[in-house]
Every structure is written in C-alpha cells, then in structure tokens.
C-alpha cells in the first residue's frame, strides 16, 4: 500500500491567518460592521457564484482574464469579482420589495485571478456600503457615505485623509476644449498622474492627440489639490460648460453637507486628480488614505454612479457607495508589524492539580456562564509547562485548583503580569475578572 503523504500547500493569493491574527482581522470586520449598522445600513449577502451572463453584463459578456469562470453541466458560472454587480442584480430583482433610498452594506469575499503580490490577493474581503435611489438621489447621500468612511477609520484608530473630486469637472472641461471623442483615453491618462508624474503624463496626452497648450491646462487642473474652499474658488470660473458648472455646483453642495456633519475640515481635501478608473462613476469620487501611513496607498474608494442597474432594468437607479478592501489593508499592516498581537482572547486558565479535573470543569461552566472566556489545562503536562504555556499565550490570570482548594472552596488566583497571588472564592474571582 502506498502511504506517500501529500505535501500540504495552499493556492497563492489566498490569505490564511494563525489564530491571533485572525482574531485581529475579525475584530476589524466587527468594528466596520458596527459603524455600518449604526448609520442605518441594512445587511445583504449575495451568492459567491453568479450566472456568467449576469456577472459579465458590464463587460458585454466578455470574460476578463481576472474573472474565475467555469461551467457545471450546461450552466455557465462566474465567481463574483466585486459586490456591485450582484447588488445591481439584487435591486433589479427585488425592486418592488425595497424601500428607497435603499441603504445596504455587504461584507464578503470576492475573487480576482490577478498576479499575487504584497497587498494583492485573489481572494479579498470587501466591505461595501451603497445608497440607491429611485429616479433621483440627492447629494446628501454622497456626504453620508463620506462620513461613514471617516467614522470607520477613526474606529480602527487611524486618522483618515479623504480626497474628493467630481468627474463632471473633467468631463465638462474636456468637452469645452474640444476633445470629447477622446475623453476616455484622456481620463485614463490623467488617472495615472500620481503614479507616472507630470512629465510622463504630458507625453501620454500628446500621444493621444491633445495639443501642447491644452495638455498643460489639463495637467495643471488635474494637479490641483488642497483645502476644499480654496480649490473651489480656483476652479469655479475656468469653464462655462454646462457639465463643468454642474460638477462645481455639486462640489459646493457636498462641501456644505460635510461641514454640517462636522467632519473636520483638515480631514478632507479637494483633489482633481481623484478620477477612479472605473467608467461607471459619474459624479462625486472618493478616495481615503491614512495619515502617517501614506505608503499603504488608497484604503477606501468609491463614488457616485447614475446607472447602477441599466444592464438589468429600464428603471433609473442612481447610487453612491464606498468600498474597503480589508484583506489588502490587513496584509500591509501585518507586513509592517503595525498590528497589536500582544493580547489573549482567554481571560482565565484553570490548572488542575491532583484528581480535580471534574471540579475544574465545574468551575469552567460557572465562569463561562458568567461571560468569562476561560479554559481548563487538562492535558497531561507538568504544572511548570502549563504556566509557561499561559505566559506564552498572554493569558492574564490563572486559577490553581488542588484538592485542598476544592475542600476549602477557595482557590489560588494569580495575576500573570504582576505575579501577585491571592486565595479567593469563585465569587470573589468572578468579581475581580469583571
């Protein structure tokens, strides 16, 4: 009989964490969920698998190389690569059952077959919120999503820097200078300003066919970044194009709501270089970075889109939302040793001495019933090795249960940090732990 063992391996690009890190990750998820729920967003959980004709609607049915695609029998299936298309499908299917504006949050895995590298995974936890309107959606909704993004990173103990713009500014300006037919190419180039620098961007625009004078103007406009009121004043009279003016007015309205919601004015800037590569953004665009951790890059992005479900329904369903790629953030924080792992999920370890395991299990039940996270060290190891194990796991307290302690209903209770030891009843121990 062949007893050759299989070498245990996992696929590249899929995160798998040891318990201590998984607890930190789950705590981050819980904090994000808490903020979403507090702001009256409703949960949604769509399937990981979708029909290909549904999931590929945005791409006209073409299968992108990053999409996981397969068939089961005669059914053509894709794994979801974001949470937006499933949201569009859900809203279209359940339009008559939903109350609008429909406010949903979804936290789940998406799958992208890209090349794995630091901060880039094939399986990603996304944490999204969206507000969907029926026929119209006021700019107030944009400000709400921005405020929620601010609250999330404060809850995670970071200082967020929110970068905002409105795509109508560049839409209108490009139309005004006569290059509307090359708009998408120009926007794709301008979106790279932070990555390639000004001189390389100018070369790209010239290659696209933009003349030298307008190349300079486009680069200068896209380079503007600073306090909201200051940049607004600089751009408001640069063009009389109707789309451009709409963008300026939307930014003014958005700014008034951000002030009303008391987001600190030094926490958000107007940055015309925020474009967001996705073609479906049609107004406000949002990116969030973390002060002091700028090397993490953009940790949250989103914006306004006017045609969420145009692939599935003739109804006009404008929306706005933000998305946090938590897997990427966590991986980079972990790589840079920025995670606090010096904690224990266990409050108390109960160590039996002699024939007291049954008594220890009784104490275990008592403390767990009173919401104390604890466990019994019932394995056959020495007392010294159990102490060493508790210390290694950062367990803050141990309870020593010998036969004399059982007789007296009083136990040796030790603080592992201070090495202080007391003899206490289980009720007294409970009070101290609480």
pLDDT digits (tens, 9 = 90+) for 31-54: 999 999 999 999 999 999 999 999
In this structure, the answer to whether residues 228 and 86 fall within a common structural domain is: no
pLDDT digits (tens, 9 = 90+) for 345-394: 999 999 999 999 999 999 999 999 999 999 999 999 999 999 999 999 99
In this structure, the answer to whether residues 336 and 394 fall within a common structural domain is: no
Q: What percent of the chain has pLDDT over 90?
A: 82
Give the single-character DSSP code of 136.
B
Where does the pLDDT of residue 216 fall: very low under 50, low under 70, confident under 90, or very high at 90 and above?
Answer: very high
Does residue 283 fall inside a structural domain? no
CB 349 within 8 A of CB 395: yes
Task: List 304's β-bridge partners, or say none.
Answer: 320
Does residue 277 fall inside a structural domain? no
Other CB atoms within 10 A of residue 71 CB: 9
Which of 63-72, 129-138, 234-243, 282-291 is predicted least confidently? 63-72
Number of domains in the chain: 3
In this structure, the answer to whether residues 20 and 140 fall within a common structural domain is: yes
Residue 63's pLDDT is what?
Answer: 66
pLDDT digits (tens, 9 = 90+) for 388-404: 999 999 999 999 999 99
* pLDDT at residue 114 tops 90: no
In this structure, the answer to whether residues 138 and 176 fall within a common structural domain is: no
Task: Say how far apart CA 415 and CA 395 lie, in whole Å.
Answer: 9
Does residue 275 fall inside a structural domain? no
pTM beyond 0.85: the answer is yes
Does residue 320 fall inside a structural domain? yes
Burial of 147 (0-12, 13-18, 19+ CB in 10 A): middle
pLDDT digits (tens, 9 = 90+) for 13-25: 999 999 999 999 9
Burial of 399 (0-12, 13-18, 19+ CB in 10 A): buried
Task: Say how far apart CA 191 and CA 301 lie, in whole Å.
Answer: 14
In this structure, the answer to whether residues 215 and 150 fall within a common structural domain is: no
Task: Say how far apart CA 215 and CA 142 lie, in whole Å.
Answer: 31
Which domain-ending residue is among 343, 370, 385? 343
In this structure, the answer to whether residues 228 and 338 fall within a common structural domain is: no
Residue 118's pLDDT is what?
Answer: 81
Token match 């004043």: residue? 233
* Average pLDDT of the segment spanning 85-103: 96
Where does the pLDDT of residue 120 fall: very low under 50, low under 70, confident under 90, or very high at 90 and above?
Answer: confident
Does residue 2 fall inside a structural domain? no
In this structure, the answer to whether residues 335 and 361 fall within a common structural domain is: no
CATH number for 328: 3.30.930.10
* DSSP H/E element including 268: strand 268-271
Residue 73's pLDDT is what?
Answer: 96
Structural domain harbouring 17: 10-159+291-343
Does residue 16 fall inside a structural domain? yes
Residue 57's pLDDT is what?
Answer: 82
Q: What is the mean pLDDT of the chain?
A: 93
Q: What's the order of all strands across the beta sheet hosting 49-51?
A: 49-51, 75-79, 69-72
pLDDT digits (tens, 9 = 90+) for 287-316: 999 998 888 889 999 999 988 788 899 999
**Terminal-residue alpha carbon distance, the chain:** 57
In this structure, the answer to whether residues 20 and 91 fall within a common structural domain is: yes
Task: Say how far apart CA 259 and CA 76 lie, in whole Å.
Answer: 49
Cis upstream peptide for 101 (omega within 30°): yes
CATH number for 383: 3.40.50.800
pLDDT digits (tens, 9 = 90+) for 164-204: 999 999 999 999 999 989 998 999 899 888 888 888 999 99
Residue 1's pLDDT is what?
Answer: 55
Residue 2's pLDDT is what?
Answer: 65
In this structure, the answer to whether residues 256 and 189 fall within a common structural domain is: yes
Does residue 1 fall inside a structural domain? no
| Radius of gyration for the chain, computed over Cα atoms and rounded to the nearest angstrom | 28
Angle, vertex CA 341, rays to CA 339 and CA 347, nearest 5: 145
In this structure, the answer to whether residues 133 and 146 fall within a common structural domain is: yes
pLDDT digits (tens, 9 = 90+) for 49-82: 999 999 988 766 566 788 999 999 999 999 999 9
In this structure, the answer to whether residues 118 and 215 fall within a common structural domain is: no
Which domain-ending residue is among 304, 320, 343? 343
Which domain-ending residue is among 322, 343, 364? 343
Does residue 372 fall inside a structural domain? yes
Task: Say how far apart CA 89 and CA 99 lie, in whole Å.
Answer: 16
In this structure, the answer to whether residues 152 and 173 fall within a common structural domain is: no
């Amino acid at each position: 009989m062949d007893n050759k063992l299989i070498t245990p391996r996992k696929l590249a690009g899929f995160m798998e964490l040891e318990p201590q890190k998984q607890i930190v990750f789950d705590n981050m998820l819980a904090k994000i969920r808490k903020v979403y729920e507090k702001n009256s967003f409703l949960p949604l959980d769509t399937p990981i698998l979708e029909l290909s004709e549904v999931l590929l609607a945005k791409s006209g049915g073409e299968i992108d190389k990053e999409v996981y695609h397969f068939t089961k029998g005669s059914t053509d299936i894709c794994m979801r690569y974001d949470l937006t298309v499933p949201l569009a499908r859900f809203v279209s299917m359940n339009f008559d059952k939903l109350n609008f504006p429909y406010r949903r949050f979804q936290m789940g895995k998406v799958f992208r077959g890209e090349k794995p590298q630091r901060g880039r995974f094939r399986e990603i936890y996304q944490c999204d919120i969206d507000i969907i309107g029926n026929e119209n959606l006021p700019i107030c909704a944009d400000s709400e999503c921005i405020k929620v993004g601010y609250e999330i990173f404060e809850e995670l103990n970071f200082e967020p820097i929110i970068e905002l713009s409105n795509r109508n500014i560049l839409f209108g300006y490009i139309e005004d200078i006569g290059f509307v037919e090359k708009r998408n190419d120009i926007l794709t180039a301008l979106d790279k300003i932070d990555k390639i620098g000004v001189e390389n961007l100018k070369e790209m625009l010239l290659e696209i066919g933009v003349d030298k004078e307008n190349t300079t103007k486009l680069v200068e406009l896209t380079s503007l970044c600073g306090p909201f009121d200051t940049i607004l004043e600089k751009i408001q009279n640069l063009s009389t194009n109707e789309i451009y003016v709409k963008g300026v007015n939307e930014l003014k309205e958005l700014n008034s709501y951000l002030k009303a919601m008391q987001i600190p004015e030094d926490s958000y800037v107007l940055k015309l270089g925020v474009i967001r590569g996705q073609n479906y953004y049609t107004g406000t665009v949002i990116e969030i970075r973390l002060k002091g951790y700028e090397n993490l890059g953009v940790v949250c992005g989103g914006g306004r889109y006017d045609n969420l479900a145009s692939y599935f329904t003739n109804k006009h369903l404008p929306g706005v939302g933000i998305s946090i790629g938590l897997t990427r953030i966590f991986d980079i924080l972990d790589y840079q040793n920025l995670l606090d792992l010096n904690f224990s999920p266990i409050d108390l370890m109960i160590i039996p001495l002699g024939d007291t395991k049954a008594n220890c299990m009784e104490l275990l039940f008592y403390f767990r019933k009173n919401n104390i996270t604890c466990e019994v060290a019932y394995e056959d190891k020495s007392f010294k090795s159990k102490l060493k194990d508790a210390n290694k796991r950062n367990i803050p307290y141990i309870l020593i249960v010998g036969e004399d302690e059982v007789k007296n209903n009083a136990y040796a209770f030790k603080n592992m940090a201070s090495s202080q030891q007391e003899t206490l009843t289980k009720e007294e121990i409970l009070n101290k732990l609480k």
